[in-house]
Structure 1
Amino acid sequence: MLSVFGRWYRRKFSDPDSAMLLILLLLTTAMLLLWGELIMPVLVAAVIAYLLDWPVCRLVNLGLSRSIACTLVLLCFIAVTIMLFVGLVPIITKQSINLIQETPVIWQQAQDWILTLPDKYPNYVQVYQIHQMMEGLNEKLVDVGETIISASFSNIANVAALLVYLILVPLMVFFMLKDKLFFLASISKLLPKERRLISQVGHEMNAQVANYIRGKVIEILIVGSASCVTFVLMDLRYAMLLGVLVGLSVLIPYIGAAVVTIPVAIVAMFQWGISPEFWYLMIAYGIIQALDGNLLVPLLFSEAVSLHPLYIIIAVLFFGGLWGFWGVFFAIPLATLVKAVITAWSGGPDLPSDPPLSE
């Protein structure tokens, strides 16, 4: 067994370029695991810089200096962000408070409906089973409520850090955009000379990450806006809150759409019951999800779609468990990175295999 592993290792990592790529990946992973929280503002700034680099390059091509282009694009981004928050946050906050206040009423109605099941289906559902299920659900709801309250109090201490980030992140974004070539040259000097595979993977991932971030932001805006407009036109309660949740659900491929369907269906059922209005809403919601999955995603993420859905789900679970929100957000690029690394190693020069043993 050890000899088989040794032959595989010599074939794939005898090339110094392959060994340097492996060392760089291990060091980067260790740095993110150990100091991920400390460098989080830098990572957030890098994500925003990727998002804004495209309009900056377009303005530079039109004849503006890079400093002026970076300033204009960053000011526009900040203005749009402030307008979105000023317009959406008060509405979403009010609807969230109302929904929390009405949650006990919704739960009571759900309990009343569940208690009618033994009469409707006496051969399949027994009363004691319903009571056992209710007791278990009530205990879970109490635990979830305590967790939410404790998380809310623990987040109060992060308000000061958030205010600092609101100042530091825009400054870092500006310098990343303005001195992009300088930083790229500095990083290039730090890399070892044996960097053929590092450069190959880096060039491939640089374009894919930039396209992914821009595409994901566009997808969130389109899906969220379409959902908000649809829910408002159909007079669904908490329309803006649910529309924003649907837009944010696209951050988690496949899983997000399935999870966000639950609150949409519960609110619609609480408002209308099992009526034609309920089914009209669910059909409209299904159309939005179908258009997103079959039209919007292939247009925005043509490279990512080449990954098998099972690989994407595994990447979401694995990287989300490692790095939380950002692991989920970058699950597809990270899965693509793994694929690019495997391709680079597979394409490396192989050593001649060992001669077969004589009989």
Structure 2
Amino acid sequence: MLDFVARWYKDRFSDPQAVTLMFILLGLAALIYFGGGLLAPLLVALVLAFLLEWPVAQMSRIGINRTTGASLVLVLFIALVLMMAFGLFPSLWRQGLALIGELPNMLDKGMLYLGSLVEKYPQFVNAEQLQTLQSELKRMLDTQHLLDIGKQLLGYSASLLVLMVYAILVPLLVFFFLKDKEQLIRGSKRFFPSNRELARKVWSEMNQQIFNYIRGKVIEIVIVGVASYIFFALMGLRYSALLGVLTGFSVLIPYVGATLVTLPIALVGFFQWGFNADFGYLMLGYGIIQALDGNVLVPVLFSDAVDLHPVIIIAAVLVFGGLWGFWGVFFAIPLASLVKAVINAWPASVPAKLDLGEGI
């Protein structure tokens, strides 16, 4: 067994380029895993700079220097974020509070519906189980429990200071990343080994793919969210803006996100209309949006990543999401593609060629 492991290691890691690539990947993974909390503003700024690099590069091509281009792009991006913050978020906040305030009425209506099921189908629904469920739900929504939730939210209010730090540091870091890109890249090369041709090959393959993924994911969120909001608003569904935004952001988690967001949409539709034609039209239209997203929009936006099997994508979401939280989920597909690119670029075992050479 030890001989087999030794031969496998010699075959796979005899190339110095492969060893360098492995150490670079392990070092970056360890840095993000153990220092991700401390480096979070830096990592967020890197992601935003990577996303905003394209318009800055286009400005450089037409003669605008990088300092001016970076300033213009960053100002436009901050203006867009502020417009969303003051235009969209207050509406979402009001709808969220209204939905929370209506939860007790929804609970009562749901209990009445379940009580009717107990009368109609006593062999399938047990009255004792219904009472246990009702008491547990009431306990979750009682005053003391809501106060406990409020205390937790007040505890999280300390994160407002962190948000203020982000609001100052992240735009500043993004500006310098965009303005001094070439200088920073040249300086960072000192920390990597010289024999990094294989790592450069993998990066050149992944660079454009990661950019296309980030840009495509932002476009997908906007298209799905806007389309869902328009459909919900035309249907007259309550909390249409909130549910539209949830549907848009659900695309961040492939396959799983669409399943999770279906529950609140179905619940709001049921409590508003019950099981009637409007509820059926709502779920049918929502299903069509999800089908168009999965079968038309995703292949167009992510043509480089559609060759990943759904099992691999779900496994990547679970693994990288468990390691790095939101960003692990967001970059699950490119990280899985990175693993695939490394495997494809890894030097193959060549014992047969060595034997031929020795024989000659």
Normalising by structure 1, what TM-score? 0.93
Paired residue type of 1:54: W
Alignment of 1:171-320 (within 5 A): 171-320=172-321
Kept after mapping to 2: 8 A contact 1:253/1:313: yes
**Counterparts of 2:163 and 2:14, CA distance in 1:** 47
Partner of 1:61: 61
| Number of residue pairs aligned between Structure 1 and Structure 2 | 354
Instruction: Provide the C-alpha distance between the structure 2 equivalents of 1:20 and 1:235, rounded to a whole number of angstroms.
Output: 58
1:168 is the counterpart of 2:151: no
Change (3 A) 1:354 1:133: farther
Aligned counterparts of 1:260 and 1:150: Cα–Cα separation in 2 = 27
**Cα distance in 1 for residues equivalent to 2:284 and 2:35:** 46
> Normalising by the residue count of structure 2, what TM-score does the alignment of the two structures yield?
0.92
- 2:156 is aligned to 155
Q: 1:201 to 1:137 in 2, by over 3 A?
A: farther
Please give the secondary structure, in 2, of the residue aligned with 1:307: coil
CA RMSD of aligned residues (A): 2.2
Match of residue 119 from structure 1: 119
**Separation of aligned partners in 1, 2:21 and 2:34:** 20
1:127: how far off? Answer: 2.1
Amino acid at match of 2:292: L
Q: Which residue matches 1:83?
A: 83
Match of 1:20 in 2: 20
Cα shift at 1:349: 5.0
Maintained 8 Å contact 1:10/1:351: no
Structure 1 residues 111 and 200: alpha-carbon distance in aligned structure 2, compared to 1, 3 A threshold? same
Does the 8 Å contact 1:298/1:305 carry over to 2?
A: yes
- Select between 174-183 and 132-141 the one with higher mean Cα deviation: 132-141
Q: Which ranges in structure 1 are unaligned for 5 or more consecutive residues?
A: none
CA 1:150–1:190 in 2, change beyond 3 Å: closer, same or farther? same
Looking at structure 2, the residues matched to 178 and 112 of structure 1 have their Cα atoms a distance apart, in angstroms, of 62
Residues 145 and 19 (structure 1), Cα distance of their counterparts in 2 relative to 1, 3 Å cut: farther
CA distance in 1, matches of 2:189, 2:254: 34
Distance across 2 between alignment mates of 1:6 and 1:147: 57
CA contact (8 A) 2:252 2:329 kept: yes
Summarize deviations over 1:92-129 as a string: whole Å, max 9, x none.
01101100000111122112212222222233233233
Provide the C-alpha distance between the structure 1 equivalents of 2:145 and 2:257, rounded to a whole number of angstroms: 20
Q: Distance in 1 between matches of 2:207 and 2:167?
A: 26
Question: Which residue identity does 1:211 align to in structure 2?
Answer: N
What per-residue deviation string (whole Å, max 9, x for no partner) do you get for residues 220-279 of structure 1? 111111111111121111111111111111110000000001001100111111111111
**CA-to-aligned-CA distance 1:296-325 (integer Å, 9 cap, x gap):** 111111111111000110111111111111
Check 1:13–1:135 CA distance in 2 against 1; reply closer, same or farther (3 A cut).
farther
- Give the SS at the match of 1:289: helix
- 8 Å contact from structure 1 (residues 55, 73) kept in 2: yes
Q: In structure 2, give the amino acid aligned to 1:14.
A: S
Kindly indicate whether structure 1 or structure 2 has the higher relative contact order, using CA contacts under 8 Å at least 6 residues apart.
1
Percent identity over paired residues: 49
Contact 1:41-1:169 at 8 Å conserved across structures: yes
- Rounded Cα–Cα distance in structure 2 between residues aligned with 1:118 and 1:131: 11
Structure 1 residues 67 and 261: alpha-carbon distance in aligned structure 2, compared to 1, 3 A threshold: same
Deviation, 1:141, is 7.0
> Where does residue 74 of structure 2 map in the other structure?
74
- Whole-angstrom distance in 2 between the partners of 1:150 and 1:266: 27
Tell me the distance in 1 between the aligned counterparts of 2:43 and 2:145: 30
In the TM superposition, residue 340 of structure 1 has moved relative to its aligned partner by: 1.2
Using a 3 Å threshold, how does the CA distance of structure 1 residues 210 and 100 change in structure 2: closer, same or farther? Answer: same
